[in-house]
Amino acid sequence: MTSHNVPTAEESVLRSLIERWGRETPERVYATFDDGSELNYGNLLRLARKTGYALQSLGVKQGETVLVWLPNGYECLRAWFGINMIGAVYVPINTAYRGGILQHVVGNAGAKVAIVHASLLQRLGEIDKRDLRTVVIIDGEPTPIAGLDILPASALDSTAEESPSIERPIAPWDTQSIIYTSGTTGPSKGVLSSYAHLYAMARGISADLDGTPFLGATDTFMVNLPLFHVGGTAPSYAMLINGGSVAMVDRFDTGSFWSTVAKTRTTMVILLGVMASFLMKRSDTGEEKNRSSTSP
């Protein structure tokens, strides 16, 4: 029968999970990226620690929100894991947002610090930024915006080697993230997700109804849905729970899908209905699929 017990911190809290895998399986790969680079669990732990310390130096405290406005990739994972490492709340923003909907999310989240891709920065200059005061720029040079302290990506670096100190242990029921809805029936609603909630969603896509995992340390979950959506967040967490790997791709692409499956040895993926239809319509899908499934 399915258990309805709240998971323990060791089972569900990100800080506990990356400390475990970073200690037990430091050489195992957690993530591969579009450029072929890899991030193993040992380096993931070090990266989360350094980023967490840097965020604390910017004034971020446990329980506070931090905005993350980045595409899928290394920097987005780094920001997310560094935020949760210090018990702060990860708030990803849809990279298509601008104008009124962006202003609503920025104001509603109440964050003082944001981590933003350089290509999106100027959109912040067009809105009321409410509590936002500090912005760290990724993949570009800082450019001035009135009312904001714009910092280079190096602001997320530190020399820390140990896990950052926090006021209290992070509990499974603490808020891990706030993910905003699409806003089709009104302003986007911020969905508060605890670690226990994310754990339940992640287990739902990686274990049978009796709780037996069907994904493990030898599996790779392709993440081709955005990390500002549960479709990207839950698979990433599912593999963190199970000590497995993710193949982090920028977006779903019909033409390169099967070659990416083969290259990354993907064993699991979430496809929205239209994605499956696009793949089925490809005349060469069968050949590529067979070659992918037999890759070593």
Residue 1, domain member (yes or no): no
- Does 90 fall in a domain? yes
Instruction: Give the model's pLDDT for residue 188.
Output: 87
Looking at the predicted structure, is the pLDDT value of residue 117 above 50?
A: yes
* Contact predicate 112/131, CB 8 Å: yes
CATH number, residue 131: 3.40.50.12780
| Predicted pLDDT of residue 2 | 44
Structure confidence at residue 89 (pLDDT) = 98
Does 6 score more than 50 pLDDT? yes
Residue 243: pLDDT above 50? yes
Domain interval for residue 94: 9-251
The half-sphere exposure of 41 on its side-chain side, counting CA atoms within 13 A, is 23
Per-residue pLDDT at 160 exceeds 80 = yes
* pLDDT value at 290 more than 60: no
Residues in Cβ contact with 179 at an 8 Å cutoff, skipping those fewer than 6 apart: 91, 92, 190, 191, 193, 228, 229, 230, 233
User: Could you tell me if residue 202 is inside a domain?
Assistant: yes
Domains in the chain, number:
1
Judged against a pLDDT cut of 90, whether residue 232 lies above it is answered with yes
Is the pLDDT at 234 greater than 80, yes or no? yes
| 2 part of a folded domain | no
Summarize the confidence of residues 79-97 as an average pLDDT: 97
Residue 84 belongs to some domain of the structure: yes
Band of residue 208 on the pLDDT scale cut at 50, 70, 90: confident
Contact criterion met (CB below 8 Å) for 61 and 85: no
- Average pLDDT over every residue of 21-47: 96
In a domain, 222, yes or no: yes
The percentage of the chain sitting over the pLDDT mark of 90, rounded to a whole number, equals: 74
Q: Is the pLDDT of residue 238 over 70?
A: yes
Q: Residue 124 falls within a domain, yes or no? A: yes
State mean pLDDT over 253-280. Answer: 87
Is 54 inside any structural domain? yes
Distance in angstroms (rounded) separating the CA atoms of residues 207 and 237 = 13
Write down the H helix ranges in 215-294. Answer: 230-242, 257-264, 273-281, 285-293
In 3D space, the residue among 117, 151, 120 whose CA is nearest the CA of residue 136 turns out to be 151
Q: Which helix (H) or strand (E) holds 66?
A: strand 65-69
- What average pLDDT does the structure give for the chain? 91
In the numeric block, which tokens belong to residue 157?
A: 């670096």
pLDDT bucket at 55, cuts 50 / 70 / 90: very high
Q: How confident is the model at residue 278 (pLDDT cuts 50, 70, 90)?
A: confident
* Position 4 confidence tier, pLDDT thresholds 50, 70, 90: low
What is d(CA 38, CA 57) in angstroms, rounded to the nearest whole number? Answer: 28
- Confidence class for position 284, pLDDT limits 50, 70, 90: low
